[in-house]
Structure 1
């Protein structure tokens, strides 16, 4: 296995107690086979870290473009959440549509995080092919949903440390 591409061996090693952590996971309905695998990977990591299932809130959204709006809605309407994990997959096609969607999603997700000073994690795959997406959604390069969940947990710890 090429360790240069598989970061899923990284596990949450923080010492934070996450029994009270609340998270919204926004999941794109586009490329469902991929995004469902990403969600399952993220869910496993969050539950292993001690977050009760009742505090992991899943929101399905039409596509990756809608992830920043869902993240903003979560921050505004659920002020007690600790953050959002955005999961999506945009596969390169024959037009520049790919570029516009990926850029808008990345910038939008980052903006929501900056505006609210809470973690909003970019768990969006941007592969060239279906096979590359599968390889990163539980395939030979691990599960990027797991990596997104580890990043979320680490950033929740940083957020709590910054507030203390």
Structure 2
């Protein structure tokens, strides 16, 4: 006797039609329960399937192309984890540093000259943000520039230096 059929009164459970109907309902319920039980693992970046990882990325405005190697999949997991942890720091040196580090696997240092203007005073140019990276990992320089432009506040200039060479 199945778990759902066992919930019925005995007279109903002995009815062949009702027993078959309830057994069919249980099979559907079991598949739904299995998906719900697995949800915790699907939302874990380290355990999520590539399809679910792309879906999780879409929640964070990160577009992922299908990974073709385990290393690419690991890179995507690292990126999604980093974006999720720094989403509250978007537009800051800390947020950009963590994001670029996760994106490339490189050491990143950011120098921001900053700037302050009192109310009623014109904005003073603060200078460009200097971003130094030890490398670009699997990304090309154009992808790194695109990520930087996406994260920096509007109107902020920057200089990118990769492995000692200005890009």
Relative to the length of structure 1, the TM-score reads 0.25
Relative to the length of structure 2, the TM-score reads 0.25
Please state which structure has a larger fraction of its residues in strand. Answer: 1
Which of the two has higher C-alpha Rg? 2
